[in-house]
Structure 1
Amino acid sequence: MHRADDQDTLDLIRAFMSMHVTLVLIGVDIPASGLLQEGSPDPRTGQWRLPASQTAKTHGLEPTQTERRFDLVELDRFRYDSPPQIAAWVQHLAGLEDQLRLLKAKPGMLTDGHMPEYLFDRTKGVVGLLERLIEDGCQEALDTGEECLSEAFLDGIDINVSHAPGRDADAGEIPAVPPVATAVARRRQPKKNSRPRPSTVFDDHGPAAESGG
């Protein structure tokens, strides 16, 4: 809440609050932003003072008037820790895949094999990072004539959100981007069931094999 634009946004929200309408507003890390906490400038320090958030009610502190007029619904990033969470992630990838128009794209391009896990490792379930990676990947696939996305192809695509206009890194508006090397290293690790079979010299082939020898 240290920018003039932040205060303008808060003033606009307050104006909406006097209207007989229902608003669904979407933002990132609203509790930490202070947007609903009615910040005010401190003339001594020049910084914005924010009262206790609604989560502090357990400590006997009252929420602000603005907070009381909103029901905060938290939608966290995707997770990859349980079958339902994985299914939700794959379903989201399937919806994204349906919107892609690459000439050599095949069904399951983003959802088959280890691609869902690879994309999660690259983005940690953050939708904005996923869209940035897929969008830049598609642009590169068009420019090079690849016309398809694969893990090996996406290895060469860096997720760059530093140039996003109007975002303040100090305010946490630019998410941390996982390093490509982490996803590549995991992809190159041999799977538990993919180890080569040991020597068969001492295999017992049974009576049928002995009679045939």
Structure 2
Amino acid sequence: MTARPLPATPTSAFLLPAGIPDRETVNGWTHWRQTRHAFVPAPALTLAEYRMLSPRDRQLHDLHRAATHANLPLQDTPMSTAVARLMRSRLRTNALKHRPTTRPGLMITGGGYQGKTETACEIAAAFEDAWLDLNQQLNPAAVPGSRDLHAPVAYVQTPVTAKPKSTCQAILDFFGADHRKMTLPQLTRAVRQSLHDHGTRVLLLDDITRLKMHRADDQDTLDLIRALMSTNTTLVLIGVNIPGSGLLREGCQDPGTGQWAFPAPARHHHDDPATQTERRFDLVQLDPFAYDTAAHIQAWVDHLTGLEQHLRLLHATPGMLTGGVMPEYLFRRTGGVVGLLERLIEQGCTEALDTGVEALTEALLDTVTISLGNDHGRDPAAGEVPAVPEKPPPRRRSRNTVFDDHGPAAATA
């Protein structure tokens, strides 16, 4: 039997890029936006087709499969679909406003590893694609004769120790603007000017709950953020547990102790009037999957079905992730958190490839530990790293007792 050549797929289609795009710069964001769907997954081969490959093509195919499992696509969930519907509507409506009024913003909250950032970035990137196409790639608000870079979307991470100056600097860094030796008023004017000159319609501020409302600097930063809402830019704030962070409540400082105090959050719409922040932002929650009703269980199984279609394991069978008690097992291991599920499946596939098992089973996944301690880009103190459900204890093989001697009492019974 002659070796069969691998289906034509350029090696560059699955090898790592020369540099990971840094979405916190305008060039990095643009590169990510233009290439975010460019990855080509490995072809789905049967075991017989795999065995017909030459040794070299097998190695390339194994590498391509590993890259496929490391780049699983972002799947829609019922929760992310609801977020996407509101965010798309808000971005489109605000972008079409002609009056110089404050644009209402959006807050996206939820637990860590819930896919808040990727969901928001994908929606913003799709908006930018459509906006650029609508305006022939040009800035409709550009000053005649100028050549300012057009950046309809800006993505900025809130500094870990956020202050008004550092927040302004982070926004200016996205555009590559010089901000050396600027005072706060100068920085504020530069930010507003940059957003206007670059035609920015959407400003994504990620990890916004790094702001701690008991700090005066953070209160000032929130005031700065609200002031930017009059710049014809829609603010989208992303963070963990925003309702519990104090961002939606106005704090007042005790002049004697210097401590900040907050009123109790309103539980019903009849209660105290909404605060200034609450009036300017809509809050939308990105929850994990639930597993307590038939509809919730079916939504989880549907998600696993979609995920299963992207796996490239040679001994995989239909229903590998959805049959028997596997859905319940996967939910117990991840708590329905999509980021933890992706981490478990990714590491499980790596183990399945390395050991030659070539399938995901409970026994194999029992050997996988989900570890989030090496994610230095997240702040555990801000709730950005979720608690990982405990791994089930190792299974113990039952002993064969057929030939056991149970003693004279058992023999005479």
Q: TM-score, normalised by structure 2?
A: 0.38
User: Could you tell me how far apart the structure 2 residues matched to 1:41 and 1:166 are?
Assistant: 32
User: Structure 1 residue 110 and structure 2 residue 330: aligned?
Assistant: no
User: Structure 1 residue 31 and structure 2 residue 218: aligned?
Assistant: no
- Alignment RMSD, CA only? 3.6
In the alignment of these two chains, the number of paired residues is: 184
User: Structure 1 residue 165 and structure 2 residue 322: aligned?
Assistant: no
Aligned CA distance change for structure 1 residues 76 and 168 (closer, same or farther; 3 Å): same
On the 8 A contact 1:138/1:149 being kept in 2, the answer is yes
On the 8 A contact 1:78/1:89 being kept in 2, the answer is yes
On the 8 A contact 2:240/2:382 being kept in 1, the answer is no
Question: Which structure would you say has the larger RCO, counting Cα contacts within 8 Å and 6 or more residues apart?
Answer: 2
Map 1:47-66 to 2 at 5 A: 49=260, 51-52=262-263, 55=266, 60-66=271-277
User: Could you tell me how far apart the structure 1 residues matched to 2:277 and 2:271 are?
Assistant: 18
2:361 to 150, 154, 160: 150
1:72 to 266, 283, 298: 283
* Structure 2: tracts of 5 or more residues without a match: 1-157, 168-204, 209-220, 398-413
Letter in 2 for 1:175: P
1:133 to 323, 340, 344: 344
Letter in 2 for 1:4: T
Report the 3-state secondary structure (helix = DSSP H, G, I; strand = E; otherwise coil) of the residue aligned with 2:367: coil
* Structure 1: tracts of 5 or more residues without a match: 189-213
Q: TM-score, normalised by structure 1?
A: 0.68
1:87 to 298, 313, 316: 298
On the 8 A contact 1:36/1:66 being kept in 2, the answer is yes
Aligned CA distance change for structure 1 residues 143 and 57 (closer, same or farther; 3 Å): same
Name the % identity. 58
Question: Which one has the bigger strand percentage?
Answer: 2
Aligned CA distance change for structure 1 residues 112 and 39 (closer, same or farther; 3 Å): farther
User: Could you tell me how far apart the structure 1 residues matched to 2:368 and 2:270 are?
Assistant: 47
2:331 to 85, 109, 120: 120
Report the 3-state secondary structure (helix = DSSP H, G, I; strand = E; otherwise coil) of the residue aligned with 2:285: coil
User: Could you tell me how far apart the structure 1 residues matched to 2:346 and 2:258 are?
Assistant: 40
Q: CA deviation at 1:26?
A: 4.7
Map 1:40-51 to 2 at 5 A: 49=260, 51=262
On the 8 A contact 1:33/1:171 being kept in 2, the answer is no
Q: CA deviation at 1:13?
A: 5.0
Report the 3-state secondary structure (helix = DSSP H, G, I; strand = E; otherwise coil) of the residue aligned with 1:181: coil
